[in-house]
Amino acid sequence: MVMINKVKAWLEDGTVDVFLGYKEIDHHPLPHCFTSEHIEDVADLVVSPVRYPLEKIATHMTAIEPDIKIGMLARDCNNRALNVLFLWNQIKAENIKTLSVNCCPSKLKKHGDCSYLEPEKMGAFKKQVGVDNNLEAEDLDAYGQKERLDRWMYEFQKCIKCYGCRNICPVCFCKECSLEHDELVKTGPLLPEIPIFHMVRAVHMAGRCIDCGLCEAACPMDIPLRLLYGKVNEIVMNLFDYETGSSAENPPFSILGDAVTLEPKPIEAAQTA
């Protein structure tokens, strides 16, 4: 009730032009755009247990009308996504007002009580031959080099290149995606070029992925994307001391010309057989 009254107040006094929340239609909680013209709809506002990328809808709206003021229901993952979008100049911070709701536990924030994340059980064969989606990032270090390659390739080969991971990602906004560029990642016949497709996506997620898990939920083949991008951001954290979604500075890959003291790994001499 408190939430509904607050949203009504915001719409009435013009703090926001539209409010993105959820409404139940035929027992499906779906995202809905509440406006002051239909203010009686706000009585149906719910907080749904399923998550949709509301920030992505906000980005599309801002692209058409840059000065529109948008309010939205925001879990922690939504807040982190908004932080990243502000840094990359996709939305202006002064045009967004968020209403915080329960959030979920994730590696970037330990405590939370969202009902969404009950991990799906993975099959026994997948655990044996591929990578279990529910592993922690540290467990991945236990595998040796050859085993890692076998396991990850097993996962990547299932890819049907539906582009679901990229389409639903709230921080993916490039107009010309390099994954659709024929000369960079070959397009065409059924078998997508693996692992280059997933590697390119992983590199682009460095400094951007906020661990919302929508990519893994959207993958029809259950490829452990959340784990992969979580590990990528762990690498970014170790190398650059940058925590994606929480730090207020620009991510390390967007700054040109700063002095760095990193050393890449040396090219070792050949090992004699």
Q: At 162, which helix (H) or strand (E)?
A: none
Residue selected from 9, 220, 243, 246 as contacting other proteins according to rule CB under 8 A: 220
Q: Counting beta carbons within 10 angstroms of the beta carbon of residue 214, is it exposed (0 to 12), middle (13 to 18) or buried (19 or more)?
A: buried
Other CB atoms closer than 10 Å to residue 264's CB: what's the count?
A: 5
Distance of CA 96 to the CA centre of its chain: 19
Q: Which of 46, 135, 218, 237 binds other proteins (CB under 8 A)?
A: 218
CB of 27 or CB of 175, closer to other proteins: 27
Which listed residue (169, 171, 206, 212) binds other proteins by CB under 8 A?
Answer: 206
**Looking at 72-80, 86-94, 103-111, 198-206, which segment touches other proteins (CB under 8 A)?**
198-206
Choices 72-80, 83-91, 97-105, 143-151 (CB under 8 A): range interacting with other proteins: 143-151
| Residue with Cβ nearer other proteins (82 or 228) | 228
Choosing from 128, 150, 243, 250, the residue that interacts with other proteins (CB under 8 A) is 150
Output the CA angle 206-92-165, nearest 5 degrees.
35
Residues 235-264 that bind other proteins (CB under 8 A): 235-236, 238-240, 252-253, 255-257, 260, 262-264
Residues 93-132 that bind other proteins (CB under 8 A): none
Sites for other proteins among residues 15-54 (CB under 8 A): 17-18, 25-33, 50-53
Q: What's the rounded Cα separation, in Å, for the pair 242 and 22?
A: 33
Bridge partners (DSSP) of residue 19 are 34, 71
Q: Which of 106, 126, 103 is nearest to 115 (CA)?
A: 103
Site for other proteins in 62-91 (CB under 8 A): 64-65, 68
Give strand pairing partners of 18: 35, 70
- Smallest distance from other proteins to CB 44, Å: 14
Q: What is the DSSP letter of 271?
A: P
- Displacement of CA 49 from its chain's centroid (Å): 17
Closer residue to other proteins, CB minimum distance, 54 or 84? 54
- Rounded CA separation 172/139 (Å): 28
Q: Are strands 45-46 and 28-35 parallel, antiparallel or unpaired?
A: unpaired
Compose the 158-197 pattern: x for residues touching other proteins by CB under 8 A, - for all others.
--xxxxx--xx---------------------xx--xx--
Orientation of helix 225-240 relative to helix 196-204, angle to 10°: 50
* Residue 7 found at the interface with other proteins (CB under 8 A): no
Nearest distance, CB of residue 252 and other proteins, angstroms: 6
> By rule CB under 8 A, what count of residues binds other proteins?
79
